[in-house]
Amino acid sequence: MPTETELKLALHPDDLPALLAHPLLAGVTWERQPMAAVYFDTPALDLRQARMAVRSRRVGRSTWLTVKTAGTSVGGLSRRGEWEARAPRGRPDFAALVDDPAVAQQLRALAPDLQPAFRTDFLRRRTVLTHRGARIEIALDEGQISAGQPARTEPILELELELFDGPVDALLDLAHTLALGPGGGRETALRLWPVQASKAERGYALEAGAAPQPARAGVPVLERHAGLVQAWRQTLLATLTHLQANEAVIRWATARGQLPDPEAIHQARVALRRLRSALRLFAPLLPRRFARHWLAVWGRLARALGPAREADVRLDWLLPAMAGLGLPHDVQTPLLAHARAQRAAAHAQAADAFREAAYGLNLLAFLRAVLAMPDRAGEALPDWAGRRLGRQHARLQMAAAQALREGPEGRHRLRLAVKRQRYAMEFLADVLPPRRGTRSLSALARAQALLGDLNDLDGARLWLAALPAGLAPDAVPALSAWVDGELARRLQELPDVEQLLLVTPWRDD
């Protein structure tokens, strides 16, 4: 089966001239090809459900029929089956095009029901470069996707790098070099970032008129005989997929002048926490500078998203609290207006963090580093997992009592440590005895929930205390008293946290 290895990158329109002026591209001869493609599916969208695509694309005077299978995709780098040939007259003979009997049979069964679903029209500028021992096609596509009646459109401006032959690392190096811009440094970097969604996926979404939805974390399935670095790599790539799915939701909203879905911001922060937890968990296997550098990089992005999440949580408790206290509408209005203005500013900051050139650079560099990390011989994954989790949990237990005596700051630190241990156990659940993992994960989740509630109440106290004088003089005292009462009530449950942490990942009794 022919396999396509491709990296897809989106480009900010204002950075197109700088991309074309890049030293690697400035002297090339571009082949220009207007392309018009129609994508097909059944009324029940059977191909979409099978994560396949069938398209007919007009290139010059020729029409080509293409079939693509799902394959794998992470960080914008995809590997999938692809078959392409000149389109025959009449109904296509998929058996003659596709050399995979199962795929061919599936397509032949669906062929009578195939109908146009959406179309793409764009100008492709194409060239082939030799870079670090690899032959790579560079395709710059500029145009639009159209779907629906009346037609809805969405712009296309993307760079596709397809590996013809050579190492995948060369593909990622070329992408990173182009992203650095004509000057070759971070100060001249382009807003060029990897994207997961193909033209077909975007077309289906446009046809449905549906906004992309926030995505929850997926846990990689680790095999017990996997090498330690292989397990780390699978874990990190899963967190990147989670991050990019929610980044796409945030971009979609901000491109339309809307506030991002609060759940997308929350899930992006969860992805970053999981990513950093995986770096800490597997730190003994990694070069020290590698772990330290990437913990700092992804920590900065997480902090940029923090105010937006805090503003969303704030409104979640503020509205019902004011209603429960029976505050009149005119008393609530100035406080709500202030909270919503803070949320709008914080969401803009979160969106900007993904629009900066540094985000795309970091994503490309990190993906390359993760894929290039050499495997190493070592102990069996189940043995390493049990020993590593046991040591982390013992340190967590020792730190708990002290942290809980240190007030809000100590509780906050403990909450983060509990989250890291919970994520670590989720990553390694497949190689742990099931009963141990289930009991410990449940206990960690309960401890995290209580500490999270306390953290939200501590944040509420700080926010109320920092409000401008005279903003809501009738509301703030009542709300402060309510927060103090809730905090006092929940603090009585703190001893439960230490008890919950006695449940270890290596003991059933």
Helices (H), 282-406: 288-324, 329-355, 357-372, 381-404
> What phi and psi, each to the nearest 5 degrees, are found at residue 54?
-125, 125
Pick the CATH number of 221-309+341-378 from 3.40.50.1000, 1.20.1260.10, 1.40.20.10, 1.10.10.60: 1.40.20.10
- CA distance between the termini of the chain: 52
- The CATH code for residues 380-509 is 1.40.20.10
Residues 6+ apart with CB under 8 A from 207: 117, 118, 147, 148
Contact 214, 233 (CB under 8 A): no
CA–CA gap between residue 300 and residue 302 (Å, rounded): 5
- In this model, does residue 211 exceed pLDDT 70? yes
The reply to whether domains 3-210 and 221-309+341-378 share a CATH topology is no
CA–CA gap between residue 225 and residue 202 (Å, rounded): 38
Write down the pLDDT at residue 436. Answer: 66
pLDDT tens for residues 239-281? Answer: 999 999 999 999 999 999 998 999 999 999 999 999 999 999 9
Give the global pTM.
Answer: 0.92
CA–CA gap between residue 15 and residue 19 (Å, rounded): 6
Q: Which tokens is 435 given?
A: 């009963």
Considering the domain delimited by 3-210, tell me its CATH architecture: Beta Barrel (2.40)
CA–CA gap between residue 505 and residue 508 (Å, rounded): 8
Specify the 3-state DSSP secondary structure of 66. strand
CA–CA gap between residue 155 and residue 142 (Å, rounded): 8
pLDDT tens for residues 360-384? Answer: 999 999 999 999 999 877 789 999 9
Task: Enumerate the domain spans of the chain.
Answer: 3-210, 221-309+341-378, 380-509
pLDDT tens for residues 61-76? Answer: 889 999 998 878 888 8
Q: Which tokens is 377 given?
A: 């011989």
Is the bond leading into 88 cis (omega within 30 degrees of zero)?
no
* Torsion (CA) 162, 163, 167, 171 in degrees, nearest 10: -20
Contact 58, 120 (CB under 8 A): no
- 97-101, 152-156, 177-181: least confidently modelled range: 97-101
Write down the pLDDT at residue 508. Answer: 46
